[in-house]
Amino acid sequence: MNPSAGNSVVQVNQLSRKFGKTDALVDVNLQLNEGIVYGLVGANGAGKTTLIKHLLGLLRCQQGSVRVFANDPIKNPQAALSHIGYLSEDRDIPDWMTIVEFCDYVHAFHPSWDSNYAKELLNTFELDSSKVIKNLSRGMRAQVALIGAVAHKPDLLILDEPSSGLDAIVRKDILNAVVRTISEEGRTVLFSSHLLEEVERLSDHVIMIQDGRVALDESLESLGSSHHYTELRFRDNLASFPALEATISTVGEGRSWNVIHHCSLDQISSSIQRFDGEVVSSRHATLEEIFVARVGRVSKPESVQLT
């Protein structure tokens, strides 16, 4: 995985989408660069799958534009989509085919198909290529779908909840195959998942969508270093925590409080001194803690300027 930005693979500009009166996407601006793994996170209904459908040309832009490898996936689908590998949560592959027939089917659409790599993945997953897909377990079906998505060595791999409903062993096999593709080939991946530990382990960059809007678009390294989980203690009991700027989540009561904040430790320490408080301990916040703090927040209180 390579955290440095390469050439642009996807450009999304001012993309908005409504379903009836509901805003599914609102003024979304994104750029995905080559050689980077992007983790796409958000609550259910936040707009993740709607965004992916626009990249795949399954939805036409109502406002704004989408370019994949500099092409409009609606107007020029062959140029845009021939470079993409896609694995959906539904793993929608033909039930009546055998595994080998499915591989031949995908091969026909992708001259870049790597038969040796496909066979290697079949062996890794311990799949019998003569089996009919409809007779496979949920996990085996997901493994076959993944082979179809990665064996033609796509320049952009899009994974929409690839681990959903799978046991830990199958999830590990699938993610290891994805990691290998990424690390050995240096390709771009957009990885949507509600399993935040997997996103954190796999991704270089995190995009968080909330209510159809991009709430965060930041490298994982920068995100971790800018968000802190800090334990505070005050001299006197507090009925409520002071509303401090850059504090996005607070939990506690009385004298002891835990906060997640996106400012430096020196800033939070200086600010709480005005309320007779001190820092007990502090560390970088995990992606899950940042996600819960941001997505779970209902309203933002009046803020006190940090000093």
pLDDT at 6: 59
Give the structural domain span for 73: 8-223
- What's the confidence (pLDDT) of residue 182? 67
Within this chain, do residues 216 and 259 fall inside the same structural domain, yes or no? no
- Number of domains composing the chain: 2
- If asked whether residues 207 and 261 sit together in one domain, one would say no
Predicted pLDDT at 57: 94
Q: Take residue 265 and report the two structure tokens written for it.
A: 């430790």
pLDDT of 178 reads 75
Pair 216, 246 in one domain: no
End-to-end, the C-alpha distance of the chain in Å comes to: 38
Asked, for residue 3, whether it belongs to a domain, the answer is: no
pLDDT of residue 244: 84
Predicted TM-score of the model (pTM): 0.84
138 to 90, 91, 200: CA distances (angstroms): 10, 9, 25
98 and 235 in a single domain? The answer is: no
Per-residue pLDDT in tens (0 to 9) along the chain, 307 residues: 443 445 899 999 999 999 999 999 999 999 999 889 999 999 888 899 999 999 999 999 999 999 999 999 999 998 888 889 988 877 678 889 999 999 999 999 888 899 999 999 999 889 999 999 999 988 888 889 989 988 998 899 998 887 776 778 777 877 777 766 665 677 899 989 888 888 888 889 999 999 999 999 999 888 878 899 999 999 999 989 988 878 888 999 999 999 999 888 888 998 899 899 999 999 999 998 988 888 864 333 344 444 3
Nearest 5°: the CA angle 205, 163, 116 is: 90
Query: Does residue 264 sit in helix, strand or coil?
Result: coil
At which of 223, 242, 272 does a domain end?
223
245 domain residue, yes or no = yes
What is the DSSP secondary structure assignment for residue 132, as one 8-state letter?
A: B
Listed residue (227, 301, 299, 304) closest to 272, CA to CA: 304
pLDDT of residue 74: 95
Flag whether 184 is in a domain.
yes
DSSP letter assigned to residue 256 = E
Instruction: Quickly count: other Cβ atoms within 10 Å of residue 180's Cβ.
Output: 15
Residues 209 and 133 in one domain: yes
DSSP helix/strand/coil, 38: strand
Give the strand pairing for 156-160 and 228-238. Answer: unpaired
CA distance 239 to 235: 13
Helices (H), 77-154: 77-81, 99-109, 115-124, 138-150
pLDDT reported for residue 3: 38
Does residue 160 sit in the same domain as residue 180?
Answer: yes
Indicate if 191 and 267 belong to the same structural domain: no
Q: What is the pLDDT of residue 23?
A: 93
